[in-house]
Amino acid sequence: MILPQEFYFNDTTSVAKSLLGKVLHIQTTGQEFRARIVETEAYLGVIDPACHTFGNKKTPRTKSMYMDGGHSYVYMIYGMYFCLNFVTRTSEHPEAVLIRGLEPLPSDPDIKKKNIKTNGPGKLCKHYHITKALDGVCLWKKKSPLFVSDDNFKVSAKNIIARPRIGVDYAGEAAAWPLRFYIADNVYVSKK
């Protein structure tokens, strides 16, 4: 079943954890790819120095973060890569979950290719052709190029690891907040 928009209205940390094990459907090139979400990070909006909307900052780039929960936020990083986020809560609370690791499912047309690389936010966007064109799309409609479903795959709480986020050392104390979540022992997690 497709996750309803309300799923994304919950607090961002809970959404980041709940997304582990869910299935992301990507329809960018005509064919449908499916992959299980195995690593996420929470970005807590106006109070989070690591978040693009820290201090309620509004810029052209972060426009979709000010949409209601259940939309995508895609931005370019380092001039070369894109990062995929799911916007959470409401437009008054511009928060999001970064998708950092995906495990391709057997239905993935590319599953037989060797060295498929979907561990890491830049790599997974490159592999699935996720670009700025997919910024601000809704995530709860079957016709959307991106949507998320629950196939009843269970992740037990003890298999959810919480660690500090990656690449946010500039954010002071917030760099140590344990807002990165991943499934224990999964090969498609970006770092150990």
Partner DNA sequence: AGTGAGATGGCCT
Partner DNA sequence: GGCCATCTCACTA
What residue ranges bind DNA (CB under 7 A)? Answer: 41, 43, 50-52, 57, 59-62, 73, 75-81, 83, 85, 96, 98, 117, 120-124, 165-168, 170, 190
Q: 3-state class of 62 per DSSP?
A: coil
**Closest CB to DNA among 51 and 148?**
51
Sign, CA dihedral 71-117-103-112, equals positive
Task: Name the minimum Å distance from CB 91 to DNA.
Answer: 16
Question: Which residue's CB is nearer to DNA, number 2 or number 171?
Answer: 171
- Is residue 68 within 8 A of residue 5, CB to CB? The reply is yes
Residue 162's H or E segment, with its range, is strand 160-163
CA dist 63 and 96 (Å) reads 12
Of 67 and 166, nearer to DNA (C-beta) is 166
Phi, psi of 86 (to 5 degrees): -110, 125
For residues 151 and 167, which CB has a smaller minimum distance to DNA in the complex?
167
Shortest distance, position 152 Cβ to DNA, whole Å: 28
CB of 95 to DNA, least distance (A): 9
**From the CB of 189, what's the least distance to DNA, in Å?**
11
14 or 151: whose CB is closer to DNA? 14
CB contact at 8 A, 101 and 83: no
Please report the sign of the dihedral spanned by the C-alpha atoms of residue 69, residue 13, residue 83, residue 123.
negative
Rounded least distance, CB 143 to DNA, Å: 25
